[in-house]
Chain A
Amino acid sequence: MTNTTTANALDTVPRLLARNAKVYADKAAYREKEYGIWQSWTWAQTFEEIQALALGFLTLGVKAGDHIAIVGRNRPYFYWAMVAAQSVGAVPVPLYKDAVAEEMAYVLDHCSARFVVAEDQEQVDKIIDVMDDLETLDGIIALDPSGMRKYEKSVLFDYRELQQTGRDKKSELQAELDKRLADQGPDTTCVMLYTSGTTGRPKGVVLSSRNIIETAKGTCEFDHLVADDSVLAYLPMAWVGDFIFSIAQAYWSGFCVGCPESQETMQKDLNEVGPTYFFAPPRYFEGLLTSVQIRMEDAGPFKRWLFKTFMENAKDVGPKLLDGKSVGLLKRLKYSLGKLLITGPLKNTLGLSRVRVGYTAGEAIGPELFDFYRSLGINLKQLYGQTEASVFITQQRDGEVRADTVGTPSPGVELRIDDNGEVFYRSSGSFERYYKNPESTKDTKDPEGWVATGDAGFIEKDSGHLRIIDRAKDVGKLKDGSMYAPKFVENKLKFFANILETVVFGNDKDHCVAFINIDLTAVGNWAERNNIAYSSYQELAGHPQVYEMIQANVEEVNASVAEDEMLSGCQITRFLILHKELDADDGELTRTQKVRRNIIADKYADLLGALYDGSNSIFTETEVTYEDGRKGAITATLEIRDAATYDRKKVAA
Chain B
Amino acid sequence: MSTSSTASSSTTTQDPSTQSTGSPGAGSGRATRAKKKGRETRTAGTKPTTTIIVTALLVIVALYFLVPVYWVIVNATKSTEDLFGTNGFWFGHTFQLFSNIGDVLTANGGAFPRWAANSLLYSGVGAVFATYFAVAAGYALAKYEFPGRNAIFAFVLGGVLVPGTATALPLFLVFSKIGLTNTYWSVLIPSLLSPFGLFLARIYASAAIPDEILEAGRIDGASEMRIFHTIVLRQLIPAIVTILLFQFVAIWNNYFLPLVMLADEKLYPITLGLNNWRAQTDRLPEFYQLTVGGALLSVIPLAILIIVLQRFWRGGLTEGSVKG
* A and B part of one assembly: no
- B residues whose Cβ falls under 8 Å from a Cβ of A: none
